[in-house]
Amino acid sequence: MNAGLTPLWISIRTSLLATFITFFIGIGSAYLVANYQGKWKGLIDSLFTLPLVLPPTVLGFFLLLLFGKNGPMGKVLSLMDKSIIFTWSATVIAATVVAFPMMYRSARSAFEQIDINLISAAKTLGLSNWKIFYKIAVPLAWPGIIGGLVLSFARALGEFGATLMIAGNIPGKTQTMPLAIFFEVQAMDYKGAMLWVMTIVAISVVMILILNKWSDKQQEIVGKRG
């Protein structure tokens, strides 16, 4: 592999895996919160949304406390003679944490827009909660879920602060494109920084175009059914 392209491959791999993880965790969390009517709903929703509003460096600090040598997860990993800090796995964790709210909020909004009468009818017919989830709720919320996927991937691709805190900037190992941009600027290599900036912009534009094209097709399908 071309060493000069390593930040690109690291970013793509990290973003894809983070988005994959976020897809399942985000949808599950969103569905549970959307259907939960207890007094703790506001608090739970706030905690799931918190990574969206906190500065990435603050998230990175919390992750460092959690997975560091003296942190609860760090101690568990040390018993297995393993460490997460300053590894590629740390870049995935950081990207997943910052991308999660995008998937969660988009999916939750989509689930909350589902006609409650459809769910009630499914329960009347004897469908289990699991079947209602994957046969009715997920298909109906699919447009919102797809939007959340695209936003999650874009957020993971642009993650910087939390990654730097727990994964560092190790060329060929944890150096993603945002990190490469920062350190290229630090080294006064504006040409190299611009190359990575344009790469991220190009990827983001392609993702937005794909999402818009898919949304247009969905609207056409809905219009024909109507």
pLDDT digits over 70-92, tens only? 899 989 998 888 899 999 999 99
Tokens matching residue 148: 């959340």
User: Residue 119's pLDDT band (boundaries 50, 70, 90)?
Assistant: confident
The pLDDT of residue 193 is above 80: yes
Distance CA 76, CA 126 (A): 43
Distance CA 151, CA 105 (A): 11
| Torsion sign (Cα): 37, 23, 167, 188 | negative
Q: Are 19 and 100 in contact (CB under 8 A)?
A: no
The pLDDT of residue 33 is above 90: yes
Q: Closest by alpha carbon to 142, among 114, 121, 101? A: 114
In tens, the pLDDT along 202-214 reads 998 888 888 777 7
Top CATH class, 3-225: mainly alpha
Domain regions of the chain by residue span: 3-225
pLDDT at 67: 93
Distances (CA, A) of 61 to 58, 69, 85, 195: 5, 13, 12, 29
Radius of gyration of the chain (CA): 20
Distances (CA, A) of 76 to 69, 70, 72, 82, 84: 9, 10, 7, 9, 11
The pLDDT of residue 223 is above 60: no
pLDDT greater at residue 212 or residue 223: 212
